[in-house]
Structure 1
Amino acid sequence: MINIRKNILGASSVIGLMLFLLGCATYNDRIIPYYKDVSAGNYADAEKQLDKNTLIQKPRNRLLYLMEKGRVCHLNGKYNESNQYFNEADSMLEQGLTSVADAAVGLFVNPMSQRYKGEDFEKFMIHYYKALNYIYLHNTEDAIVEARRISLQAQQQGDKFNNNNNRYSNDAFSLAFQGLLYESDKDVNNAFISYRNAAEIYFASPDSTYYGTRIPAELKRDLIRTASLNGFTTEAEQFEKTFGITYQPAPLPEGGELVFFWENGLAPVKTQVDLDFSLIRDSNGALFFTDAAGGITVPFEYSGDRNKVDLKSVESLRAAFPKYIPQKPYYASATITNNQVQVPLEKTEDVTDLAIKTLKQRALAEMSKVLSRLAVKKMAEYSMRAAANTNGKTNSLLEAGSYGMQLYSLLSEKADTRNWQTLPAQICYARIPLQRGENTISITMKTSNGADETKTIKINGNGRLQFYNFSTLR
């Protein structure tokens, strides 16, 4: 029996060491080569890195792979291929990624071992890139389909949180973008509705700020203009008064207009933080977890008899939780110029702020799941150890098993540090008039230390509303 115990303890130590070495690495650590290639603009190499990375190729990470692949193909100008990947990602989300087996994996192993289901704001971004891909492929009909699907996504998001304004229950940028898509299809009625829906999200906030973004001046002008074009005089005057803007109708520029999106920086990365908790029973018999400082209290999710829970079995727990680390963009601001017209690029979506705040919104619920899972493991380990020492005799097999369970519980604990990391830190935009024929658009970007850098692009003015997205991923 002694040899059996030694063998089990030895095997447990080896397994534990392997789990520890793997557990120390976050998702970001394990995809760094891909991440660096994207940041450097080496998109072809980035695709190769994705295809050979064993972590993101795992079935549980399929959604993440599809979103990353769709994004890098878009950056590389492979718009048709990009949408093939985004369409598959869309299909996976529609079919659902939750199952009993997947829930069991999260319960008995860790959330990093479950299927990646995507952040709520990531789902909206799929529609943004799909619509742009269709526009660049001159497929206006499918781009408008994506505009309608933004409404469906917004409805699902609202239903998820009962349209709670304190939760991320909609996406103002996606609705403003939807309005632009409708307007490009000369559907000013639906464009007005979309702009109004976007503006109402800002109105619902006391300071008209939505996840790090103030209502853009361009959205204000678009809302008033489309209200006027639809003959909604009362609404137009009301919005003029609200925004302090006097609308003056003007003919469409001869070459049309360009809506320019600047995708600046890279989304935050997730890391892991470890916190210590204890299981406490209050005077009413209720069980909850509290941290060492007593500043955090988390409910214990347990379906068994709470009165029979032995607190000694869960004296202390070390739990792993995800935390976003922002990446400060290299560029702080930018303007675009066409001839004598210069327009500042306004922030319309702050992905960094969204990521951090939406994670914080669900932090208590996630803490409860993690701690409850660990507590159940700890109770099972304690019961096995108690069973190994009964009537003054020691069952070496059970004792060794309890130590192996303890080691596994400790070293398999891991936070879910996955996210769509090649999304921009923020999206800014502006609308600028075009001349008929070739236009040279200058983008002047100011770095964080105050230096200016200028890039130019060529746009052919065709009398219509056009789109262009420009990425600076560093």
Structure 2
Amino acid sequence: MLKSVWVLLILTMGLTGCAFNSVFVNYPSQIAPYRQQLSSDAPTANINELADNISGNDGLLYAQESGRIMQISGDFTRSKTYYQQAIDAYQAFDDKATVSASQLGAGASSILLNDNAIPYRGPGYERIMLHQYQALNYLFSGDTQGALVEVRRSNELQSLEQARYQQSQKSVQDMANGTIDAQITQLSQEAGTVTSSFLNAYSYYITGLLHELANEPNDAFIDYRKAAQITPNNTYLQQDLVRLAKQLAMPQYDEFKRRWGDAVLPTEDQGQVVFIVERSFVPEKQSITVPFSIDGNWQTASLATYQPQRQLLGESKILGLNQVLEAQSIANIDALAINALKEDLPAALFRQAARIYAKYQLNQSSRSNNNQMNVGAIAMQIFNVISEQADRRSWLTLPRQAQIAREFIAAGDYNIGLNNSQNVQITVKPNRTTLIWAIETGNRTRFYSIII
């Protein structure tokens, strides 16, 4: 009996091939050194080590992380390459019409091991942000048309994710029980006022900004309005809507003017500065593990969750212009991540129930004929405990929060700083837009700017 147990375990492990990146070693601990490096002078140290995992089970996730690390470091060309690998991986998931042998293996392994054996396919908000960040790669590389292609794809995905979520709600209701309800309530409290993972005001804002910079004000107005519906209290968004409604002589102008005040239009000697500020990192998933016994056989159940969040980030202060400019939140990416987990919870619990049943059957088969515990049964129970790991995978180099600011100022050179960062020089030209992208990672803030 002992021999058959070990043969079964070896076969189970072999089903997923060599790609065991997160099956027994939790993902946050793997990515932690790379997040720490982003606060150092060598943000891309060991990047090849990370990128070497792109061919594995979690390859899509490692491609996203590698692309983001190179982007933060300012290497938009290499970032573009890694992001394209992630985009191709998502497309491969979409195009796969039949279940391959490798998928069958991963499915069988996830029943006996844990959800980390399932090839990683990120939640909708990660895929949306992937195209948004690829658009910024194109923009800061001087390719505005390439950037527009990516943001249009980002917008399309937001609509598709919303439709997919609405279709899934019936199954959520059918599986409702006390455990699901308790976890959903907790995650809802942590997410605050954000109610979905697929509606991202940050992505809509970037899309609107790129349309405006490409002299497509009508399209810009549509996307700014979508962003304002998600984040209604952002005064920069409000002023963008008033300004465009005024410029385009839209019927909404009088209403917007009454609600938010009239827009300030630039003079001939002024240029525009637009700030995108990204702060900190999204939180990592934690795990809840509950031991229990069925007919004397020990089992464990593990689920991913998020701990209560730290204090909210304040508005960033931008120094060095005519006056202190305060950036305001456009999106809390951590809330999107929490909602994504909440939306996936019913499916995760379904897989957990199937795994508990399968492991219970293995425990039963490992007993001797007289129902006494033998060495095989003990080995099986130890394996059950150590193999049960919550799926804590997620894109961990994303920012925790995105903020925006905008102002028309006289043309010239300015030394600007963000909060307590070192100053950098930017140039403002008449009737042009200077876009400044500030990325804060730990105690380090990096600035990238482009004049459009």
TM-score class normalised by the smaller sequence: 0.7 to 0.9
2:246 to 205, 228, 233: 228
1:216 to 209, 212, 234: 234
1:342-369, Cα deviation, whole Å (9 max, x unpaired): 3211011111222223313332431232
Partner of 1:60: 57
RMSD: 3.5
Contact 2:54-2:60 at 8 Å conserved across structures? no
- The secondary structure found in structure 1 opposite 2:364 is helix
Quick one: structure 1 residues 359 and 457, their matched pair in 2 at CA, closer, same or farther if it must change by over 3 Å?
Answer: farther
Please tell me the residue identity of whatever aligns with 2:359.
K
Partner of 1:435: 410
Q: After alignment, is 248-257 or 61-70 more displaced?
A: 248-257
Quick one: structure 1 residues 166 and 316, their matched pair in 2 at CA, closer, same or farther if it must change by over 3 Å?
Answer: farther
Aligned mates of 1:224, 1:25 — CA distance in 2: 51
Partner of 2:381: 406
Aligned mates of 2:296, 2:228 — CA distance in 1: 50
Partner of 2:159: 155
Quick one: structure 1 residues 329 and 91, their matched pair in 2 at CA, closer, same or farther if it must change by over 3 Å?
Answer: farther
- The secondary structure found in structure 1 opposite 2:87 is helix
Partner of 1:174: 203
1:122 to 109, 120, 126: 126
Partner of 1:28: 28
Contact 1:66-1:85 at 8 Å conserved across structures? yes
1:232-273, Cα deviation, whole Å (9 max, x unpaired): 12x2223334xx222145235635312111111111112322
Partner of 1:37: 37
Structure 2: runs of 5 or more not aligned: 14-21, 170-193, 443-452
1:17-38, Cα deviation, whole Å (9 max, x unpaired): xxxxx97742122333222212
Mapping of residues 345-356 of structure 1, within 5 Å = 345-356=327-338
Aligned mates of 2:296, 2:255 — CA distance in 1: 60
Partner of 1:91: 88
1:70-105, Cα deviation, whole Å (9 max, x unpaired): 111112221122111112211211221785423333
- The secondary structure found in structure 2 opposite 1:31 is helix
CA drift of 1:429 comes to: 1.1
Aligned mates of 1:89, 1:365 — CA distance in 2: 24
Aligned mates of 2:159, 2:4 — CA distance in 1: 57
> TM-score, length-normalised on structure 2?
0.78
Structure 1: runs of 5 or more not aligned: 17-21, 203-207, 209-214, 279-311, 446-451
1:25-82, Cα deviation, whole Å (9 max, x unpaired): 4212233322221232422315245246xxx456111111111111111122211221
1:132 to 136, 160, 176: 136
CA drift of 1:433 comes to: 2.3
> TM-score, length-normalised on structure 1?
0.75
CA drift of 1:191 comes to: 0.6
**In the alignment, structure 1 residue 367 sits paired with structure 2 residue 349:** yes
Aligned mates of 2:90, 2:387 — CA distance in 1: 28
Aligned mates of 1:84, 1:133 — CA distance in 2: 10
Q: After alignment, is 113-122 or 363-372 more displaced?
A: 363-372
Partner of 1:308: none
Contact 2:24-2:387 at 8 Å conserved across structures? no
Quick one: structure 1 residues 331 and 410, their matched pair in 2 at CA, closer, same or farther if it must change by over 3 Å?
Answer: closer
Aligned mates of 2:365, 2:371 — CA distance in 1: 16
Contact 2:298-2:381 at 8 Å conserved across structures? no
CA drift of 1:410 comes to: 2.2
Partner of 2:218: 189
Mapping of residues 195-344 of structure 1, within 5 Å = 195-202=224-231, 215-233=233-251, 235-241=252-258, 244-248=259-263, 250-251=265-266, 254-276=269-291, 313=295, 317-325=299-307, 332-344=314-326
Quick one: structure 1 residues 168 and 252, their matched pair in 2 at CA, closer, same or farther if it must change by over 3 Å?
Answer: farther
- In terms of fraction of residues, the more strand-rich structure is 1
Q: How many correspondences in the alignment?
A: 401
Q: After alignment, is 247-256 or 145-154 more displaced?
A: 247-256
- The secondary structure found in structure 2 opposite 1:43 is coil
**In the alignment, structure 1 residue 464 sits paired with structure 2 residue 432:** yes
Please tell me the residue identity of whatever aligns with 1:375.
Y
Please tell me the residue identity of whatever aligns with 1:259.
V
1:323-350, Cα deviation, whole Å (9 max, x unpaired): 2357859974422245423321101111
1:138-160, Cα deviation, whole Å (9 max, x unpaired): 11111111221122111111111
Please tell me the residue identity of whatever aligns with 1:178.
T
- The secondary structure found in structure 2 opposite 1:362 is helix
CA drift of 1:407 comes to: 2.8
Please tell me the residue identity of whatever aligns with 2:217.
V
Aligned mates of 2:425, 2:118 — CA distance in 1: 43
Please tell me the residue identity of whatever aligns with 1:256.
G
1:367-401, Cα deviation, whole Å (9 max, x unpaired): 2321331222213422453xx41xx699x9xx554
